[in-house]
């Protein structure tokens, strides 16, 4: 039986990655990711996992090093946050174009400036269009489970794409909470050795990530787009298999008391469970509110989002990042795009919340929902609000 | 659910305390969270750390604003920061000090339960160091009473190895010697 223990989530993520028979990891420390890299390096140094831990001089090197190693057929991992992810940015689309199954843990943190080390989603949002599969977790157990699943999804013969697992910095990474590690034997069965479609080897030279001008570039971009869209089939199959073996269910879009709700709140990441308490309180008072939690950010789950959100009269989308000078939050922009062609669609309200670690409490969720409940849906506009901003 | 706020100074081990407590509570079959006040840390500067303990799954991930129990690891913080900030009227305040509960009650004009123990003195005698973070877990368990001292054995042994017993002895003494004024 899997043992239930109390562990800091960052350490639990490293332990979970250590269960995945990785060949190589390269991690550069940055708060709040550092405990993941430190613990992984401990596991290697203590001989608990048989892998190379490459100490690099920057995140740019970390991602470049794992790309090289992945090209040889190795199973690889890195983790980062904020500025570290921004420094990797240049390399991210190269990894997806090369169809390399990297796995990266992101301890989400605000990006500078001003300098801030606390949690929001402004680090992952600029990476949105880099061709990576991108998933969010809301607690430590999910961080363990998705970190393991990520390898299976990334390396699947129909996918061959990099995967990032978004784990909210501090709120998740620095939390000691109950987690359960799957039995190693079951993980080994679930996640067999990687079978690469091509490998770099001195005795059998191949070229990867070569040059393409206008004659081929469009085709390669189309192939990447198709691969990312098609990956959803594999993601669903992997989650199905996970549920059968380990008993925990994952879906691209998850709901809580959404049945019969007039107002649906949308969250992504660690605030989902706090929001559930607000939904409970409101339901007790007779407010028909429900919660929709977005797990899969890329590929974006258009069908599932349409299915659930078109049933509500009003939708309140929370965003943990700003698309400056744009449509508000990036999640809301996507949801509006998803619903545009629907004949019957809800009024959509967008709140920017929890920037740079600003705490969002149960009472904040209830007051946002109450405001939206009181609003006249026929007068909804394309504006958005920064929750609790001092002006 | 019991919510606890720990006050200490950077380096006094408040974060270690919340880790140990959460691990022990979880090992005992409960649900728990242990977390630092998020942000930069400096040795000697006032820090806070937080615990939540419950018999059912804990969903809330926002901060703790109305603690049931406050533990002050370093009494020099009293007067410097408002240690009773947000405390519920029937809350429990535990202070590592040589003073009596009544003296602390007068200083802070606090109406809830006040408990004091010379945690630093105990730690010095039992472990040879003036660091009372583990010692004060004993005080907490006596005052808050959500689980027994035995629950800590495994996580303390895992963390401290051959000096674990000294920590457990210090915890036991704080548990026995703490003075409580309701």
Residues 6+ apart with CB under 8 A from A313: A262, A263, A346, A347, A377
* Contact state of A273 with B38 under an 8 Å Cβ cutoff: no
Kind of pairing, strands A384-386 and A347-352?
Answer: parallel
From residue A1, how far is each of A119, A180, A206, B158 by CA, in Å?
Answer: 34, 10, 45, 21
- Least CA distance to A359: which residue of chain B? B62
Q: What is the pLDDT of residue B89?
A: 85
Question: From the list B18, B27, B60, which residue is nearest A362 (CB)?
Answer: B60
Residues in chain B with CB shorter than 8 Å from the CB of A267 are none
Disruptive mutation site among A177, A267, A271 for chain B (greatest number of B CBs within 10 Å): A177
From residue A288, how far is each of A227, A262, A281, A362, B176 by CA, in Å?
Answer: 39, 5, 11, 17, 52
Question: From the list A172, A274, A276, which residue is nearest B62 (CB)?
Answer: A274
The domain segmentation of chain B, as residue ranges, is 2-181
* Contact state of B58 with A177 under an 8 Å Cβ cutoff: yes
Question: From the list A177, A359, A361, which residue is nearest B33 (CB)?
Answer: A177
Question: From the list A118, A178, A277, which residue is nearest B59 (CB)?
Answer: A277
Q: What is the CATH number of domain B2-181?
A: 3.40.920.10
* Contact state of A118 with B31 under an 8 Å Cβ cutoff: no
B116 inside 8 A of chain A by CB: no
Half-sphere exposure of A360 (CA within 13 A, CB side): 31
* Measured distance CA(A124)–CA(A168) in Å, rounded: 11
How close does chain A come to B123, measured CA to CA in Å? 25
Contact A62, A78 (CB under 8 A): yes
The structural architecture, per CATH, of the domain A253-386 is 3-Layer(aba) Sandwich (3.40)
How close does chain B come to A127, measured CA to CA in Å? 25
* Measured distance CA(A106)–CA(A143) in Å, rounded: 10
- Beta strands, E only, chain A: 4-8, 24-26, 52-54, 76-80, 103-108, 133-136, 163-168, 176-180, 253-256, 263-267, 289-294, 296-298, 314-319, 347-352, 384-386
- Least CA distance to A280: which residue of chain B? B59
pLDDT band at B88 (very low <50, low <70, confident <90, very high): confident
Q: What is the pLDDT of residue A362?
A: 98
Question: From the list A8, A117, A273, which residue is nearest B39 (CB)?
Answer: A117
Half-sphere exposure of A65 (CA within 13 A, CB side): 20
pLDDT tens-digit series, residues A340-350: 999 999 999 99
Mean pLDDT computed over B168-176: 98
B67 inside 8 A of chain A by CB: no
Contact B23, A11 (CB under 8 A): no
Residues of A with CB under 8 A from a CB of B: 4-8, 117-119, 170-172, 174-178, 270-271, 273-274, 276-277, 357, 359-362
* Contact state of A6 with B58 under an 8 Å Cβ cutoff: no
Superfamily of domain A4-246: Thiamin diphosphate (ThDP)-binding fold, Pyr/PP domains (3.40.50.970)
Disruptive mutation site among A81, A82, A178 for chain B (greatest number of B CBs within 10 Å): A178
Helix (H) or strand (E) holding B96: strand B92-96
DSSP 3-state assignment of B32? strand
Mapping DSSP onto H, E and C, the string for B44-93 reads: CCEEEEEEEEECCCCCCCCCCCCCCEEEECCHHHECCECCCCCCCCCCEE
- Sheet containing A289-294: order of strands: A253-256, A289-294, A263-267, A314-319, A347-352, A384-386
Terminal alpha carbon distance of chain B: 21
Neighbours of A87 (CB within 10 A): 18
Name the stretches of chain A with pLDDT < 50: none
pLDDT tens-digit series, residues B102-151: 999 999 999 999 999 999 999 999 999 999 999 999 999 999 999 999 99
- Least CA distance to A170: which residue of chain B? B38
pLDDT tens-digit series, residues B69-86: 999 999 999 999 999 999
Nearest to A149 by CA among A31, A8, A250: A250
Residues in chain B with CB shorter than 8 Å from the CB of A359 are 62-63
B26 inside 8 A of chain A by CB: yes
**In the predicted model, is pLDDT for residue B38 greater than 90?**
no
- In degrees and rounded to multiples of 5, residue B105 shows phi and psi of -60, -45
Q: What is the pLDDT of residue B40?
A: 75
Q: What is the pLDDT of residue A249?
A: 98
How close does chain A come to B63, measured CA to CA in Å? 7
A298 secondary structure, DSSP code: E
List beta partners, residue A77.
A25, A103
The model scores a pTM over 0.95: yes
Q: What is the pLDDT of residue A1?
A: 58
B42 inside 8 A of chain A by CB: no
Q: What is the pLDDT of residue A201?
A: 93
Q: Alpha helix (H) ranges present in A78-139?
A: 82-88, 92-97
Question: From the list B23, B33, B65, which residue is nearest A175 (CB)?
Answer: B33
B16 inside 8 A of chain A by CB: no
- In degrees and rounded to multiples of 5, residue A289 shows phi and psi of -110, 145
Q: What is the pLDDT of residue B39?
A: 75
**b/e map B62-86, b = 16+ CB within 10 Å:** bbbeebbbbbbbbbebbeeeebbee
The mean of the pLDDT values for chain B is 96
The domain segmentation of chain A, as residue ranges, is 4-246, 253-386
Terminal alpha carbon distance of chain A: 54
- Least CA distance to B38: which residue of chain A? A170
């Amino acid at each position: 039986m899997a043992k239930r223990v109390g562990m800091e989530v960052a350490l639990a993520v490293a332990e979970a990655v250590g269960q995945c028979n990785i060949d190589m990891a390269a991690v550069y420390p940055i708060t709040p990711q550092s405990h993941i890299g430190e613990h992984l390096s401990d596991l290697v140094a203590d001989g608990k996992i048989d892998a190379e831990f490459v100490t690099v001089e920057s995140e740019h090197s970390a991602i470049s090093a794992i790309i090289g190693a992945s090209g040889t057929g190795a199973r690889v991992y890195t983790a980062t946050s904020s500025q570290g992810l921004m420094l990797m940015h240049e390399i991210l689309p190269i990894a997806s174009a090369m169809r390399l199954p990297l796995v990266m843990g992101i301890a989400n943190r605000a990006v500078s400036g001003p300098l801030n080390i606390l949690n929001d989603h402004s680090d992952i949002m600029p990476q949105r269009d880099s061709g990576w599969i991108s998933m969010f977790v809301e607690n430590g157990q999910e961080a363990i489970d998705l970190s393991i699943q990520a390898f299976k999804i990334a390396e699947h013969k129909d996918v061959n794409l990099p995967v990032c697992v978004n784990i909210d910095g501090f709120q998740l990474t620095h939390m000691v909470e109950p987690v359960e590690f799957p039995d190693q034997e079951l993980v080994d069965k679930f996640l067999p050795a990687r079978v690469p479609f091509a490998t770099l080897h001195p005795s059998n030279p191949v070229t990867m990530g070569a040059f393409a001008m206008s004659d081929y570039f469009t085709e390669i971009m189309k192939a990447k787009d198709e691969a990312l869209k098609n990956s959803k089939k594999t993601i669903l199959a992997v989650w199905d298999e996970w549920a059968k073996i380990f008993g925990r269910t994952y879906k691209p879009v998850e709901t809580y008391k959404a049945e019969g709700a007039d107002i649906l709140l949308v969250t992504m990441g660690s605030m989902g469970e706090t929001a559930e308490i607000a939904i409970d309180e409101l339901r007790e008072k007779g407010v028909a509110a429900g919660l929709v939690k977005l797990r899969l950010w890329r590929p974006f789950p258009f069908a599932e989002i349409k299915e659930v959100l078109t049933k509500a009269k009003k939708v309140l989308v929370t965003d943990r990042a700003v698309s400056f000078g744009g449509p508000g939050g990036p999640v809301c922009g996507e949801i509006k795009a998803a619903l545009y062609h629907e004949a019957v669609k809800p009024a959509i309200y967008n709140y920017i919340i929890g920037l740079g670690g600003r705490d969002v409490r149960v009472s904040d969720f209830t007051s946002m929902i109450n405001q939206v409940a009181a609003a006249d849906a026929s007068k909804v506009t394309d504006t958005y609000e920064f929750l609790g901003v001092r002006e | 659910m019991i919510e606890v706020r720990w006050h200490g100074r950077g380096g006094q081990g408040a974060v270690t305390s919340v880790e140990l407590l959460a691990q022990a509570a979880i090992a005992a079959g409960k649900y728990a969270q242990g977390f630092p006040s998020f942000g930069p840390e400096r040795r000697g500067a006032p820090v806070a750390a937080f615990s939540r303990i419950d018999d059912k799954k804990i969903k809330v991930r926002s901060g703790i604003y109305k603690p049931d129990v406050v533990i002050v690891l370093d009494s020099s913080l009293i007067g410097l920061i408002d240690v009773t900030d947000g405390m519920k009227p029937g809350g429990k305040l535990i202070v590592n000090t040589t003073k009596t509960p009544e003296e602390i009650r007068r200083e802070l004009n606090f109406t809830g339960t006040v408990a004091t123990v010379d945690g630093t003195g105990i730690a010095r005698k039992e472990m040879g160091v003036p660091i009372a973070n583990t010692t004060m877990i004993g005080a907490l368990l006596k005052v808050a009473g959500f689980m027994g001292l035995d629950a800590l054995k495994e996580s303390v042994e895992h963390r401290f190895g051959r000096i674990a017993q000294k920590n457990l002895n210090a915890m036991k003494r704080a548990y026995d010697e703490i003075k409580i004024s309701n």
